[in-house]
């Protein structure tokens, strides 16, 4: 329970911080293009990394809050039994898919240790870490959602 | 009704599974290489790789085969390099982007370093050129199979630029690489790093006033519609390495390795011929599109730009820079 609360907070503040950072760097870039003599070359890369992180942090939360696209047109026309199967399979398949992605993103992070970004000169393992955050958080929340559905359909 | 739909669904699923099972196992080669290309099908690099594939298949008696995927279908340039290292695909073309893995590769994409293509050939065939190739194998795990010359980069603008003094805070789009920013700043321009996909609309809207690229890229991107002058600065002479993953190459038996390397040599010669034909054709097309070619004071550009680029390098790279200058003089 404590871990769940910590993770939700971590993702929430992560999303807020990276989104604010993204807005700041893009604004700085636009301002510099029009009003300053020098455009800091790092802004383009920083904005890209911050955007990716904002998505990575927010995806798990979106899954938790059920904010993803939901095709009700087809779903509502199905029988209760098919609905039950789809409900369970959706979360189970998401869990399996993102579980596999989590394992592969670990490999990517390891590969990123020997690569540097062109202008910020940070090791690429840092941007690649966003994939791990995205996959692991969706994997965790899809598992919880699966358990919740099992409980619901049993009752 | 529902029963019938179910039957139909089941039948379609069965048909799909059957189709998925059919494969040409009889024609399957022993070694299948997958190459990711940044360029389109009409580019000389793509044609050269297709030719390379034909040579491989013919000379190995069908034991080796090459599948070429153009227009970033498989991955973008850097992603392709990562995929090769992960063993997902096998080949690509790259050079300057590899600076992220090994600093020495910075010399393959450095403005105001080489005066002409003779200097470029001298550098590639020198001890430093061999050091670059060694580092690519050891540090990145990619084996270069030769090199493809890229067109010189020139500046396009809406006012003629003959001398660095004419730049006078001209807003130039540059790729996101520190050496470009430093060099153009030293010349008196206002360099703005920007993604290539944004360049055309930014030129239209006036966010930037100029950009620099090789002839073929200027033509392909349609910059002649928004830029009047093509200033022949030739400030960057660069090349691309056709690359294969070292792990993938080492997995070949000796006889196939020999065929692979010999075919690569023939591919390089074939591409060079295509490149020369293409360069003159593209220049004509740009002139016909209304662009005015402007001769520039190349020496003045070189003198002002190279000092700034040199100062932006780390001490070990400054040492190599001096050696390159000696070799290419």
Cross-chain Cβ contact B207/A124 below 8 Å: no
Among the listed residues B211, B214, B230, B216, the one whose alpha carbon sits nearest the alpha carbon of residue B287: B230
Pick the residue from chain B with its C-alpha nearest to A45.
Answer: B176
Give the span between the Cα atoms of A91 and A149, in whole angstroms.
9
Neighbouring C-beta atoms of residue A81, cutoff 10 Å: 8
Sequence-distant (6+) residues with CB within 8 A of B185 are A38, B191, B308
Complex ipTM: 0.75
- Residue B190, strand partner residues: B171
Q: Tell me, what's the pLDDT at B195?
A: 78
Q: Tell me, what's the pLDDT at B40?
A: 83
Q: In what order do the strands lie in the sheet with B210-214?
A: B190-193, B171-174, B210-214, B153-157, B229-236, B292-294
Q: Which two tokens stand for residue B133?
A: 């190739």
Give the span between the Cα atoms of B226 and B201, in whole angstroms.
9
DSSP letters for A32-87:
HHHH-S---THHHHHHHHHHHHHHHHHHHHHHHTT-S---HHHHTTS-HHHHHHHH
Say yes or no to pLDDT of B216 above 90: no
Query: How many angstroms separate the CA of residue B217 from the nearest CA in chain A?
Result: 22
Q: For residue A31, which residues of chain B lie inside 8 Å, CB to CB?
A: none
Cross-chain Cβ contact A44/B194 below 8 Å: yes
User: Interior CA angle at B137 toward B268 and B183, to 5°?
Assistant: 75
Give the span between the Cα atoms of B187 and B165, in whole angstroms.
8
Where in B145-286 does DSSP place strands (E)? 148-149, 153-157, 171-174, 190-193, 210-214, 229-236, 239-245
Asked if B169 is an interface residue toward chain A (Cβ–Cβ < 8 A), one would say yes
Give the span between the Cα atoms of B131 and B118, in whole angstroms.
19
DSSP structure class, residue A116:
B
Among the listed residues B145, B174, B146, B171, the one whose alpha carbon sits nearest the alpha carbon of residue B157: B171
User: Interior CA angle at A89 toward A86 and A91, to 5°?
Assistant: 110
User: How large is the C-alpha radius of gyration of chain A?
Assistant: 20
Q: Tell me, what's the pLDDT at B234?
A: 92
Q: Tell me, what's the pLDDT at A70?
A: 77
Give the tens place of pLDDT for each residue, B1-34.
Answer: 555 555 555 556 656 665 665 554 556 899 999 9
- Residue B213, strand partner residues: B154
Q: Which two tokens stand for residue B198?
A: 């944004």
- The DSSP element (H or E) to which B65 belongs, if any, is strand B64-69
Give the span between the Cα atoms of B127 and B328, in whole angstroms.
12
Give the span between the Cα atoms of B33 and B242, in whole angstroms.
13
Say yes or no to pLDDT of A99 above 70: yes
Pick the residue from chain A with its C-alpha nearest to B174.
Answer: A41
Cross-chain Cβ contact B194/A41 below 8 Å: no
DSSP structure class, residue B99:
G
Query: SS3 of B62, please?
Result: coil
Average pLDDT over every residue of B45-69: 96
Q: For residue B101, which residues of chain A lie inside 8 Å, CB to CB?
A: 114-116
Average pLDDT, chain B: 89
Give the span between the Cα atoms of A150 and B289, in whole angstroms.
66
Q: For residue A34, which residues of chain B lie inside 8 Å, CB to CB?
A: 207
The confidence band for B166, taking pLDDT boundaries of 50, 70 and 90, is: very high
For A118, the closest of B100, B194, B195 (CB atoms) is: B100
- φ/ψ (deg, to 5) at B94: -160, 170
Pick the residue from chain B with its C-alpha nearest to A116.
Answer: B100
> A89 vs A75, A83, B32, CA distance in Å?
13, 10, 36
- Residue B92, strand partner residues: B243
Q: Tell me, what's the pLDDT at B215?
A: 92
Q: For residue B185, which residues of chain A lie inside 8 Å, CB to CB?
A: 38
Give the tens place of pLDDT for each residue, B133-153.
Answer: 999 999 999 999 999 998 899
């Amino acid at each position: 329970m404590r871990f769940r609360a910590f993770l939700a907070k971590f993702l929430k503040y992560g999303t807020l911080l990276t989104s604010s950072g993204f807005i700041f760097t893009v604004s700085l870039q636009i301002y510099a293009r029009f009003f300053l003599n020098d455009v800091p070359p790092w802004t383009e890369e920083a904005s890209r990394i911050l955007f990716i992180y904002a998505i990575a942090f927010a995806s798990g939360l979106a899954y938790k809050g059920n904010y993803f696209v939901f095709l009700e047109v087809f779903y509502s026309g199905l029988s209760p039994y098919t609905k039950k199967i789809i409900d369970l399979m959706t979360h189970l398949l998401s869990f399996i898919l993102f579980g596999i992605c989590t394992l592969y993103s670990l490999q990517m992070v390891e590969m990123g240790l020997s690569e540097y970004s062109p202008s910020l000169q940070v090791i690429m393992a840092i941007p690649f870490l966003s994939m791990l955050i995205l996959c692991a958080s969706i994997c965790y929340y899809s598992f919880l959602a699966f358990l919740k559905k099992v409980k619901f359909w049993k009752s | 009704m529902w029963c019938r739909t179910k039957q139909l669904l089941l039948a379609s699923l069965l048909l799909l599974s059957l189709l998925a099972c059919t494969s040409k196992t009889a024609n399957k080669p022993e070694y299948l290489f997958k190459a990711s290309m940044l360029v389109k099908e009409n580019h000389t690099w793509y044609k050269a790789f297709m030719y390379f594939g034909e040579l491989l298949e013919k000379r190995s008696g069908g034991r080796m085969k090459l599948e070429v995927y153009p227009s970033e279908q498989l991955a973008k340039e850097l992603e392709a390099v990562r995929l090769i290292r992960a063993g997902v695909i096998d080949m690509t073309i790259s050079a300057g982007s590899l600076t992220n893995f090994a600093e020495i590769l910075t010399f393959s994409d450095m403005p105001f370093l080489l005066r002409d293509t003779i200097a470029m050939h001298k550098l590639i065939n020198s001890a430093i050129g061999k050091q670059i190739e060694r580092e690519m194998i050891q540090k990145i795990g990619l084996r270069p199979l030769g090199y493809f010359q890229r067109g010189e980069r020139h500046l396009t603008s809406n006012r003629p630029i003959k001398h660095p003094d004419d730049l006078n805070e001209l807003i130039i789009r540059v790729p996101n690489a520190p050496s470009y920013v430093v060099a153009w700043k030293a010349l008196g321009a206002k360099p703005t790093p920007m993604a290539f996909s944004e360049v055309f609309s930014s030129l239209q809207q006036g966010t930037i006033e100029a950009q620099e690229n090789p002839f073929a890229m200027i033509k392909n991107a349609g910059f002649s519609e928004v830029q009047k002058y093509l200033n022949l600065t030739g400030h960057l002479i660069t090349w691309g390495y056709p690359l294969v993953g070292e792990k993938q190459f080492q997995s070949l038996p000796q006889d196939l390795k020999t065929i692979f390397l010999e075919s690569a040599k023939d591919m390089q010669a074939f591409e060079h011929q295509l490149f020369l034909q293409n360069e003159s054709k593209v220049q004509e097309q740009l002139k016909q599109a209304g662009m005015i070619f402007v001769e520039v004071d190349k020496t003045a550009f070189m003198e002002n730009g190279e000092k700034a680029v040199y100062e932006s390098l780390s001490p070990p790279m400054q040492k190599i820079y001096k050696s390159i200058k000696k070799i290419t003089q």
